[in-house]
Every structure is written in C-alpha cells, then in structure tokens.
Amino acid sequence: MKKAAYGFLVLLGAITFVFFLFNMAPGDPAREIAGENASIEVIQDIRRKYDLDISVGNRYIIYLNDLSPLSIHSKNPESRIYFDPAEYEGRTILNLSDQKSLCIKKPYLKRSYFSDKSVSEILSEVIPGTFVLAILSIVLALIIGLFLGVIAAIKRDSAFDRFILVVSALGMSGPSFFMAILIGWVGAVLWFETITLPLFVVVGLLALIVFAILGRPRRVVTQAISLIVISWFAGILIEYFFGLKLAVLHYGFTLPGTGLPLTGSLYEVDPWEGRKLALSHLVLPVITLMIRPLAVIVQLTRSSMLDVLNQDFIRTARAKGLSEFNVVFRHALRNAINPVLTAVSGWFASLLAGAVFVEFVFGWKGLGQEMFTAIEKQDLPVVMGGVIFISFTFVLINVLVDILYGVIDPRIRG
C-alpha cells in the first residue's frame, strides 16, 4: 500500500508538470486549428470546445476530474463538467445534489485538436505496436544478458569476459538513432539478398569463439589474432608490390540474404488476404532497441554475480557438495538479480518513450512516432496523453518490481 501511495503521488506530480508545461507554452492553439483567415466567432467556438477560454488553473482542475476514475459531474448540459455519455465511458453511481453527481468512468484524455478523435482511441491504435517492440526487446535482452553476464562472471578475466565487456561498452555508447540507421542499412540494404564475408574475417571470428570457449589465456588469443592480421596485411603487400593475385585473400563465404524490409509495421494489408501480422518487420527494430538494455544487463549481471560469488554462503554451498549449476543459478543468481530487475523496469518504460527514433527510422506505427507527429503539429492533448500513459506505465512497473523483490528475496519483506 505504501508503494502504491508513493506511485500515485509520483503520477500526480508527472501529470501536473506535463499539464502546466504544455498549457503555459506561448502560442494560441485555437488560431492554429482554425487557420489564419478564420473569423473571431470560429476561434471563440474552438476555444470554448477545448476549454481554452478559461484560466489554466480551472483547466487543470477539469483535466484532473476527467482523468480520475471517480469524478464529479454536472447534470446541466451547458456546464463544462457535464457527464456526456457520448464522451465518457461510465455511469452515475451517486447523486450528490440536484446539479451534481458522482460518476465512475474510464480516464478521459480529451480530444485531438486536429483530427477531433478521442486521445484514448488514438493511443489504443498505436500502443500495441510499441508494446510488442518494447516487450520483445526487453525479454530478449534479459534472457541473453543474464546468460552472458553469468558466464562472464564465472570466467572472470578470460578472453570471453574481456570480449563481452568490450562489446557491451560499445552497445551502451551507441545512440539509438545511429544504431537504427546502421542496422537498417546492413540488415535491409547491404544484406538484403546475399553478403560475402572474407575468409580472414570468418577465421578470426571462429578463433575468438573457440579460444573463448576453451578459456585460453589472453596471451594465446592475442597471438592468434595477431597472426591472422599480420598474414592478411602481408598478403595485401605482396599483391601490391609484386602484382600477384592471392586467391585466398579474396575468397569468402556467401551467406543468404535476410530478405527483411527496411520499413513496416506490425500489420500489413494484403490485397487478397486483408490485414495480417507481419512478424518479419519486427526483427530489425527489436535488434536495435535491445542493444543498449542488453549491454546494461550484461554488465550489471556480471558485477552483481562477482559480488555474490565471493560471499560466505556460496563457499558453504560448494563445501556441502552442491553442483556448480545449483550454486550459480539457484543460489548466486537469485541473490544477484535485484539490481538487474531495477534496470529492466527502468529500461522498459524508457523503451516506450525512447522508441521514437527507432520507429521513425523503420516507419513503425507506434507511440513514439505518434507523439513525434503530435509535437510537430502542437497537438497538445495527444502529447499529454502519451506522456501520461508512459508515466503511468513507469510507476506501475516500479511498484510491481518492488513487490517482485519480496518474492525473490524474502529478506526484503521484513
């Protein structure tokens, strides 16, 4: 209950900040909606329709009343808080007076300035696409990140550990818009049909994987990679100075193409089959979105596992003869996973908000692209509705994660 109350206060603060941030911005939305040549009467009607003709404070009270599941409404059709069945989904549960009644309803997010559609309807059309991207990205990042982080902690200071640290550092440093462009170009343009990998690149990657699995010392791995690079460089020099053609330098492995489209949404419309799922459109956006959370989860898991593996109860478990699998995954990982869950909860909400660049690059119909378009048009109800939804999701996930802490680690419940 304390966590729920705290989450409610955070949500109320986010709603208040967002409302005043957008409603106190310079400009007249009514004039922009009506156009430059509109008459004064038309502009006044628009202001009346969207409550733009009253003070910001009164607008804020009405907005909170509309958002609240339990709200007070007037029975007078001319009132600004009239319970219109065409607008509100709910019913009256108590008559407070001849003019006022207590109603229970779904939160009402107003209407779009430009399309005049309900903001709830607009969001319901785009949220599923973003949710699918975010959930798939965070689930795959969590599964792969936990596995790689645990292996890196077990094989501390090995070639595999150092390789994972370097790759995760690169993943965290890549901006979303840059990675989206890069992955889109490689996956949907360069590798669309076929791609040829040079022999030396393939041999180098295989050598890294083999040495990492075998746990060879860093010196052996460095020597092997140096030998491959020096041989390749020497072959290029021989070709350049002696005019020879070394086929081994130009031989490669041709891989089949991905066949993945650069743009597309969760559904596509086929002229014969109608609307259907297009799962292939998910691949590139999901890979792009999961890179940064994957890198964070790998490093957090490794760091937390190293701390837990050095504790006394792990040595006791090993002394009792438990298998290494039980020691690592049943005892160590369970005690090391709390920081990872915190990161996952934050990243999931961040993916909902930060997907705007990825959705824009891949032409994905989702919440990010919708909010970007609304900001361009200064469609304030849609922007506020999107931000409030993200805030609500963030608060809800944090409350659920706090509850999950107690399930995973009973010591926290006390």
Instruction: Between 107 and 413, name the one with better pLDDT.
Output: 107
Instruction: Between 299 and 335, name the one with better pLDDT.
Output: 299
Tell me the one-letter amino acid at 397: I
Query: Which pLDDT does position 144 carry in this prediction?
Result: 92
Give the pairing type, strands 274-277 and 267-270. antiparallel
Is the pLDDT at 414 greater than 60, yes or no?
A: no
Q: pLDDT class for 338, splitting at 50, 70, 90?
A: confident
Cα separations in angstroms, 151 against 47, 164, 213, 300: 61, 10, 10, 13
Q: pLDDT class for 209, splitting at 50, 70, 90?
A: low
Query: Which pLDDT does position 271 carry in this prediction?
Result: 74
Tell me the one-letter amino acid at 52: L
Average pLDDT over residues 352-370: 79
Is the pLDDT at 207 greater than 80, yes or no?
A: no
Q: What is the pLDDT of residues 287-329, one digit of tens each?
A: 988 888 888 889 888 888 888 888 888 888 888 888 877 888 7
**Rounded Cα gap, residues 328 and 336, in angstroms:** 10
Among 208-222, 226-240, 369-383, which is the least confidently predicted range? 208-222
Q: What is the pLDDT of residues 141-177, one digit of tens each?
A: 989 998 998 888 888 877 778 878 888 888 888 777 7
pTM, entire model: 0.75
Is the pLDDT at 31 greater than 60, yes or no?
A: yes
Contact between 397 and 348 (Cβ < 8 Å) = yes
Q: pLDDT class for 360, splitting at 50, 70, 90?
A: confident
Query: Which pLDDT does position 34 carry in this prediction?
Result: 78
Query: Which pLDDT does position 305 carry in this prediction?
Result: 87
Question: Which are the contacts of 189, defined by CB distance < 8 A and separation ≥ 6?
Answer: 262
N residues, the chain: 414
Tokens matching residue 284: 């590139």
Average pLDDT over residues 18-34: 80
Q: What is the pLDDT of residues 86-95, one digit of tens each?
A: 788 888 888 8
Neighbours of 171 (CB within 10 A): 19
Query: Would you tell me which CATH number, out of the four given (2.40.50.100, 1.10.3720.10, 1.10.600.10, 3.30.565.10), belongs to the domain 119-193+282-412?
Result: 1.10.3720.10
Is the pLDDT at 108 greater than 80, yes or no?
A: yes
Neighbours of 243 (CB within 10 A): 7
Among 21-30, 219-228, 229-238, 362-371, which is the least confidently predicted range? 219-228
**Rounded Cα gap, residues 271 and 304, in angstroms:** 53
Q: Which residues does residue 254 pair with via DSSP β-bridges, in sequence order?
A: 196
Query: Which pLDDT does position 412 carry in this prediction?
Result: 59
Residue spans per domain, the chain: 29-105, 119-193+282-412, 194-256
